[in-house]
Structure 1
Amino acid sequence: MPTLSELVDLLHGWYPPATADSWDAVGLVAGDPGQEVTKVLFAVDPVLPVAREAAEWGAELLVVHHPLFLKAVHGVPRTTPKGRTLGVLQDAGCALLAAHTNADQAVGGVSEALATSLGLSDLRPIAARSNARLDKLTTYVPAADADPVRQALGRAGAGVIGDYDSASFSSAGEGRFRPLAGANPTIGEVGELEVVDEVRIECVLPRAARPRVVAALLDAHPYEEPAYDVVELADPGTAQTGSGRIGTVEETTLGRFAQHVARTLPATAQGVRVAGDPDRPVRRVAVCGGAGDFLLDDVRRGDADVYVTSDLRHHPASEFLEHAAGGDGPALVDVSHWAAEWTWLPVVARRVADTLGATVDTRVSTIRTDPWTALHTGEER
């Protein structure tokens, strides 16, 4: 049987915690990494009914989308909702893991699952995000010392492009400098202008490796005060990960598409709210699982006919529609936060089952943890 640590590594491989937003709290919340896991329950919210379901089923791991401890707490007594939830899990020997914004943006993640469930094809992120953030380092070295410096940069992690390493570009030129009093120049004399045949070396490096690569450069460079610069490279926009998804459906109308959304997602008291002409054509659809008003500007600048997301606030939605009306921009479909994100659970449960086979049982919680329980329009008497 796999251990909890192995399950965590598997899930983190698909949804790396390093890709979560800086404010988020993801990863293993509680549990013994050495414990064997035979049953995994998947749910959107770490709430008491879900914890009880995990305990009664005998799950050793509960994987949730929303973190239990998104904000700091000073204690978890069982007189509090978080304490009661965690207490039930601990009594049952069930670990807890959260995959939140790291799962939102990933391939096979929340927004992609929502898009796929609604029948979108040819998917791409609304706002692409490359996990391979790169810098470019440029330095100037006496020609005789260029090879040792290039080798030192390569050993420190610079110069890797795809399946190639030791990648760099060099060009010849002249370096000019005058050592001042107090200097201890490798080449030249204090007070004398010096001209040196130098090589300009350029190479890319992972941004996370910047301190290590710069330290290697300073250690290997023969000059007392080497010249160098590091610039951050722009995201090329070719990444398959990122916020939201946009894709294509068979041409329909906004009214019929909204009915399709309502039939596809789990039923909730909120239902599906629509802003736009029900007869307008719909072919390009943008979606974002969870609260998606942070992408409104990106969606408006794109080619979507409609944007499906949750928790749209009055003023941002109103302003968005005013802009859209001027240029025949997208309509809006607002759905339950819980229902949109629930679509990811069968996807991740299936990935675990397909990877681990019969060694682990997986189960998706069908408890509706949407906080709203009824909708009254004022028409009922």
Structure 2
Amino acid sequence: MSFTVRDVNAVIEGLWPIEHAESWDAPGLLSGSPDAPVSRIHLAVDAVAETVDEALALGAGLLLVHHPLLLRGVTTVAETTYKGAMLARLIRGDCALVAAHTNADIVDDGVSSVIARRIGLLNEVPLVAGAVPGTGLGRAGDLPETVTLGHLARLLAELLPATATGIRVAGEYDAPVTRVALCGGAGDSLLGNPEVRAADVYISSDLRHHPASEAREQAALGGGPALIDTSHWASEWLWLDTAANQLRDALPGVTVTVSDLRTDPWDFVVTQ
């Protein structure tokens, strides 16, 4: 059975509907002919030079990424810019580029749900409800048994691919944890969310100094979660295997591969 970019994109939009993406987002088909054939799909978190090289070397007809390459407005795609250079190489290599971003964050089996299930959360609910029941941004739930904050941080360190920045924690190592809130990717905008405030710990990425500091001060005064800060790339990479399996089921005969390349931007860290 043969498929085109149009066919594959229809499956992608069926699994991760664009109409449920955040208003500021820019997912969907970013480049490529809808009529081009696709026999191999490659998945990555980021469209960067290395993942484009990988997709082209594999002979992929479509590169599916989590982060949209054109999320921010551009006025040129000249090949003197990295976005222009990558788009040109993808087009010349007959490899379409598609992004599934916040539309893949909110669904059941989406980015945050994958993390929640890998750490064993029960009674999972979204932090911010979506248009469809059971969907939405982030997740909260209960661990099967109480563990220490340090134990949970170590579990995440084993679960997530290694990065230079590792796992950062704000809270007492031996603090008991039962209720967990989390958001894959950048999530400090949800620090004031009621589910987050009611949790024992909040797991997310890119937690900035001031929002994290204010959350910890408020927690000390009137209750609130400990914080676990993970690599943005690592927290979203876990979803790729789930997405790949869904695509394999929907597109029989198409080879679907997942990039193991670390596209976290940091190379090393010096501890003090």
User: Do they superpose with TM above 0.5?
Assistant: yes
Q: How far did 1:117 drift?
A: 2.4
User: In the superposition, relative to structure 1, how do residues 266 and 299 fare at CA in structure 2: closer, same or farther (>3 Å)?
Assistant: farther
CA distance in 2, matches of 1:308, 1:301: 9
Query: 1:105 Cα deviation (Å)?
Result: 1.2
The Cα offsets for residues 81-100 of structure 1, whole Å up to 9 and x where unpaired, read as 11121122112100000111
Q: Secondary structure at the match of 1:268?
A: coil
Alignment TM-score, normalising by the size of structure 1? 0.69
Deviation at 1:329, TM superposition (A): 2.0
Secondary structure at the aligned position of 1:308 is classed as strand
Alignment-derived partner of residue 241 in structure 1: 135
The equivalent of 1:163 in structure 2 is none
Match of 2:153 among 252, 258, 261: 258
1:301 CA displacement: 5.9
Question: What SS does the aligned partner of 1:84 have?
Answer: helix
Aligned to 2:255: 361
| Mapped contact 1:117–1:343 kept (Cα < 8 A) | no
Q: Note if 1:327 corresponds to 2:222.
A: yes
Give unpaired runs (5+ residues) of structure 1. Answer: 132-238
Distance in 2, Cα, partners of 1:301 & 1:119: 18
Q: Distance in 2 between matches of 1:47 and 1:299?
A: 36
Matching residue within 357, 364, 373 for 2:267: 373
Partner of 1:336: 231
Q: For residue 100 of structure 1, what is the aligned residue in structure 2?
A: 101
Contact 1:300 1:330 in 2 (8 A): no
**Alignment partner, residue 165 of structure 2:** 270
Per-residue deviation at 1:326?
2.6
With over 3 angstroms needed to count, the CA separation of the structure-2 counterparts of 1:302 and 1:314, relative to structure 1, is: closer
| Cα drift, residue 124 of structure 1 | 1.0
Quote the offset at 1:111 in angstroms.
1.1
Label 1:365 to 1:275 Cα distance change in 2 as closer, same or farther (>3 A): same
AA partner of residue 113 (structure 1): V
Give the counterpart letter for 1:371 in structure 2.
Answer: P
In structure 2, the partner of 1:36 is 37
Aligned to 2:206: 311
Does structure 2 conserve the Cα–Cα contact (< 8 Å) formed by 1:42 and 1:365? Answer: yes
Structure 1: how far apart are the matches of 2:10 and 2:220? Answer: 47
Output the amino acid matched with 1:247. Answer: G
Provide the residue aligned with 2:185 in structure 1: 290
Identity %: 49
Deviation at 1:20, TM superposition (A): 1.3
Matched residue of 2:115: which SS? Answer: helix
Mapped partners of 1:362, 1:12: distance in 2: 17
CA contact (8 A) 1:311 1:337 kept: yes
Partner Cα distance (1:326, 1:273) in 2: 22
Q: Does structure 2 conserve the Cα–Cα contact (< 8 Å) formed by 1:300 and 1:324?
A: no
Instruction: For 2:75 and 2:224, locate their aligned partners in 1 and report how far apart those are by CA, in whole Å.
Output: 47
Counterpart residue identity of residue 93, structure 1: D
**Contact 1:299-1:307 within 8 A present in 2 as well:** no
d(CA) in 2 for partners of 1:102 and 1:120? Answer: 22
Indicate conservation of the 8 Å contact 2:11/2:250, yes or no. Answer: no
Instruction: Extract unaligned runs of 5+ from structure 2.
Output: none
- Structure 1 residues 362, 3: CA separation in 2 closer, same or farther (over 3 Å shift)? same
Give the TM-score normalised by the residue count of structure 2.
0.95
Q: Which amino acid aligns with 1:344?
A: W
Is the 1:286–1:299 contact (alpha carbons within 8 Å) kept by the matching residues of 2? no
| Aligned residues: CA RMSD | 1.3
CA deviations on 1:197-218 (whole Å, 9 max, x unpaired) are xxxxxxxxxxxxxxxxxxxxxx
After superposition, where does 1:119-158 map in structure 2 within 5 Å?
119-131=120-132
Change (3 A) 1:4 1:311: same
The change in CA–CA distance for 1:59 and 1:301 in structure 2 (over 3 A counts) is closer
The residue aligned with 2:81 is 80
Number of matched pairs = 270
What one-letter code is carried by the residue in structure 1 that aligns with 2:179? R
